[in-house]
Amino acid sequence: MKTIKLQEWALFAEVLGGIAIVITLIFLVLETRANTNAIQVQTYQSLTAELNTVRFENMKTQNMGALFQYTKKPFNELTDHQKYRLIMITEATWGVYESAFYANERNVLGKNEWGRFEAAICRNYHVDKTLWYPETAGPSSLDATALNGIARNVTPKFREYVESFCIN
């Protein structure tokens, strides 16, 4: 009779242990989802903070003047100093975009957050085309060596994405 009671208790303990494992797994799934959402928000905030820092530095050092002049006249008509400032701010901006691209690839960014970056990437690709491959900008001491152009300073995978996605 003691053996039967012990067997019954062992069976009850196994069932209880199985239920505990299922509850634990459900809890882990919920926590992982919550953690993923928190990481997405944190990554987006970090990337936008980087982009805002670049924008702030741009305004602080009066690079906005170079950007404005760039839209008004061809790149090769800017002074070397203006070209250098424009290239530096553009390189920093594209670095943030590339980080966002890889964060999206790893499913660290949400669809809405990535959509904002994706729109900015294409918009800036069309604005920055002469900086994408500087040899198209004309002869100057900076044109051919200006950090070798944006296209050469991003990963081939990101460059291919930008050039194929932002066709229009």
The pLDDT tens digits of the residues spanning 18-31 come to: 998 999 888 888 87
Is the pLDDT confidence value at 88 over 80? no
Is the pLDDT confidence value at 100 over 80? yes
Give the DSSP letter string of the chain: -HHHHHHHHHHHHHHHHHHHHHHHHHHHHHHHHHHHHHHHHHHHHHHHHHHHHHHHHHHHTTHHHHHHHHHHS-GGGS-HHHHHHHHHHHHHHHHHHHHHHHHHHTT-S-HHHHHHHHHHHHHHHHHTHHHHSGGGS-S-TTTTTSTT-HHHHS-HHHHHHHHHHT--
- Mean pLDDT confidence for 89-109: 85
pTM for the model:
0.61
Is the pLDDT confidence value at 122 over 70? yes
Instruction: Give whichever of 17-26, 127-136, 138-147 has the largest mean pLDDT.
Output: 17-26
